[in-house]
């Protein structure tokens, strides 16, 4: 039987099935894919035989060993955290950033270092003026990066603005994204035989990946408003069993169980909670909110962290040895839940896990 065209497969297999991660990279790649708030859809069928929109999507078949080779020049030894050089605690020494940021401000600090030092021309970020659905944002200065600090837990299609920025002539961009967004960038960077002007991701010169075990549907913002009595929300954090929502008048705690119905179903099918294809990945420590967990993955990531340390804007300390097994098992458990569920329905091949990678996840991977 003839296969549907690739755009139709994206529409049916990803968008209409509810599997779209809302990374945003297909938006504007062709004139028929648009966003409405955080949703992404075709506004018209596309006549093209080819379909890079399908190939770059983080929810279409992805050859994981190949991406490891593409990004790091080798396959992974660790099936929990993916390829990495070092795991550390880190925080920004820039006081404004430390104060405005979600945790230790490592993301804003590194993005700011890259832009201010001229290594990157701008940063592709996500910004919320009020605590509502954030919008993609191109930040060209430290102040603009600072204005994007903090986490909004919905799935903003940030990468839509990467395509816009590149069309406007921007080059050398640092991009901050959820794991699915970093995967989309790597998929586009790996495309061969495609005209350069169609490959906005090749203008990304540094990827900062956020840890992300799930994102929430946009409807969560109305729920939070109701829970806080309509007060202005300044920040939300989800330490473990409670979400802590900080309003202008104090904190409101919401049991995580009340948020579960807002978790996006596609996140239950993701087995990359630590952004394994980023240059560096950044998350909480679950231990000390003034610090971040920083995973240095690539040589480029290592070099940028070294320079930020030398510039006196970043500080690091060893990752507590007793905590590393906790992080690794939290990630492995998430991956196993995914493999036991939805992914097994479609088979490992669909997700591009080699037999070694699937075995590594199921058996725990090699300890370092
Ligand atoms: C949807 C989501 C789920 C997350 N889940 C986890 C988790 O389970 N465990 C964990 O340890 N950490 C998680 N994080 C990461 C965590 O919230 C912090 O972003 C990270 O630790 C960096 O902290 P920081 O102080 O360096 O960030 P900051 O310096 O404050 O910078 C935060 C950056 O995040 C970007 N951002 C904000 N909202 C979004 C969004 N919706 N999509 C993409 N980028 C965004 C902003 O552009 C900003 O540059 C999640 C983040 C998001 C967005």
The pLDDT value given to residue 360 = 85
Ligand 1 atom with the smallest distance to the CA of 155 is 41
* Cβ atoms within 10 Å of 260's Cβ, excluding its own: 10
CA of 178 to the centre of ligand 1 (A): 8
What distance in angstroms lies between residue 132's CA and the mean position of ligand 1's atoms? 15
Taking alpha carbons only, the member of 89, 113, 115 closest to residue 103 is 89
pLDDT of residue 3: 75
How many whole angstroms from 194 Cα to the centroid of ligand 1? 32
Query: Which ligand 1 atom minimizes the distance to the CA of 150?
Result: 30
Residue 181 pLDDT greater than 60, yes or no: yes
pLDDT digits (tens, 9 = 90+) for 73-101: 999 999 999 999 999 999 999 999 999 99
User: From ligand 1's centre to the CA of 212, what distance in Å?
Assistant: 8
92 lines ligand 1 (CB under 6 A): no
DSSP H or E run through 244: strand 242-247
Tens digit of each residue's pLDDT (9 = 90 or more) over 273-289: 999 999 999 999 999 99
Do 273 and 295 contact (CB within 8 A), yes or no? no
Q: List pLDDT tens digits, range 34-48.
A: 998 889 999 988 877
| Eight-state DSSP code of residue 256 | G
Q: In the prediction, which pLDDT does 350 show? A: 58
Centre of ligand 1 from the C-alpha of residue 299, in Å: 23
Global pTM reads: 0.96
Please classify residue 1 by burial: count the beta carbons closer than 10 Å to its beta carbon, then call 0-12 exposed, 13-18 middle and 19+ buried: exposed
What percent of the chain shows pLDDT beyond 70? 95
Q: If you take atom 2 of ligand 1, which residue's CA is the nearest one? A: 153
Determine the atom of ligand 1 nearest the C-alpha atom of 108: 29
Q: Quote the DSSP letter at residue 12.
A: I
CA of 354 to the centre of ligand 1 (A): 30
> Measured from the CB, is residue 358 less than 6 Å from ligand 1?
no
The whole-chain average pLDDT of the chain stands at 92
Q: Is 282 in the pocket of ligand 1 (CB under 6 A)?
A: yes
Alpha carbons within 13 angstroms on the beta-carbon side of residue 345 total 5
Helices (H), the chain: 6-9, 52-56, 64-72, 95-100, 106-116, 142-146, 160-167, 179-189, 220-227, 299-310, 324-340, 342-346, 348-351, 355-363
Torsion of CA 86, 89, 90, 95, to 10 degrees: 180
pLDDT at residue 366 is higher than 50: no
Using pLDDT thresholds of 50, 70 and 90, give the confidence band for residue 195: low
Asked whether 134 lines ligand 1 (CB < 6 A), one says yes
For the cut 60, the answer to whether the pLDDT of residue 349 exceeds it is no
Cβ–ligand 1 contact at 180 (below 6 Å) = no
Verify whether ligand 1 is closer than 6 Å to residue 108 (CB atom). yes
Residue of 22, 94, 151 best suited for mutating to test ligand 1, as the one with most atoms within 8 Å of CB: 151
pLDDT tens-digit series, residues 90-141: 999 999 999 999 999 999 999 999 999 999 999 999 999 888 899 999 999 9
- Residue with CA nearest ligand 1 atom 24: 105
CA of 50 to the centre of ligand 1 (A): 34
Residue whose C-alpha is closest to residue 184's, from 22, 313, 72: 22
Q: Count other Cβ atoms within 10 Å, centred on residue 231.
A: 17
**50, 53, 57, 59 alpha-carbon torsion, rounded to 10°:** -70
Instruction: Give the C-alpha separation, 15 to 38, whole Å.
Output: 13
Atom 3 (ligand 1): residue with closest C-alpha? Answer: 212
Residues facing 139 on adjacent strands: 123
């Amino acid at each position: 039987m003839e296969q549907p065209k690739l755009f139709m497969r994206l529409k049916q297999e990803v968008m209409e099935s509810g599997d779209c991660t809302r990374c945003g990279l297909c938006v504007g790649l062709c004139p028929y894919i648009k966003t409405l708030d955080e949703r992404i859809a075709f506004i018209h069928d596309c006549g093209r035989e080819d379909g890079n929109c399908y190939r770059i999507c983080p929810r279409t078949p992805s050859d994981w060993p190949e991406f490891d080779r593409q990004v790091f020049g080798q396959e992974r030894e660790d099936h929990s955290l993916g390829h990495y050089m070092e795991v550390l605690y880190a925080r920004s020494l820039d006081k404004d950033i430390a104060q405005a940021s979600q945790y230790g401000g490592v993301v804003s600090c590194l993005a700011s270092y890259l832009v201010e030092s001229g290594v990157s021309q701008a940063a592709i970020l996500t910004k919320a003026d009020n605590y509502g659905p954030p919008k993609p944002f191109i930040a060209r200065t430290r102040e603009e990066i600072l204005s994007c600090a903090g986490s909004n837990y919905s799935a903003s299609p940030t990468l839509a603005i990467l395509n816009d920025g590149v069309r406007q002539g921007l080059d050398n961009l640092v991009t901050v994204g959820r794991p699915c967004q970093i995967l989309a960038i790597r998929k586009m960077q790996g495309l061969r035989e495609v005209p350069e002007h169609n490959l906005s991701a090749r203008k990304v010169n540094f990827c900062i990946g956020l840890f992300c075990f799930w994102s929430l549907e946009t409807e969560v913002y109305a729920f939070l408003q109701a829970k806080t009595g309509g007060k202005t929300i300044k920040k939300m954090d989800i330490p473990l069993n409670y979400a802590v929502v900080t309003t202008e008048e104090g904190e409101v705690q919401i049991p995580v169980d009340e948020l579960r119905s807002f978790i996006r179903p596609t996140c239950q099918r993701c087995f990359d909670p630590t952004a394994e294809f980023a240059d560096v990945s950044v998350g909480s420590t679950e231990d000390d909110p003034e610090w971040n967990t920083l995973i240095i993955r690539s040589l480029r990531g290592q070099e940028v962290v070294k320079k930020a340390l030398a510039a006196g804007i970043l500080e690091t300390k060893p990752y507590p040895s007793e905590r590393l097994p906790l992080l690794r098992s939290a990630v492995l458990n998430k991956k196993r839940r995914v493999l036991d569920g939805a992914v097994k329905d479609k088979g490992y091949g669909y997700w591009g896990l080699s037999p070694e990678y699937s075995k590594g996840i199921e058996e725990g991977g090699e300890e370092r």
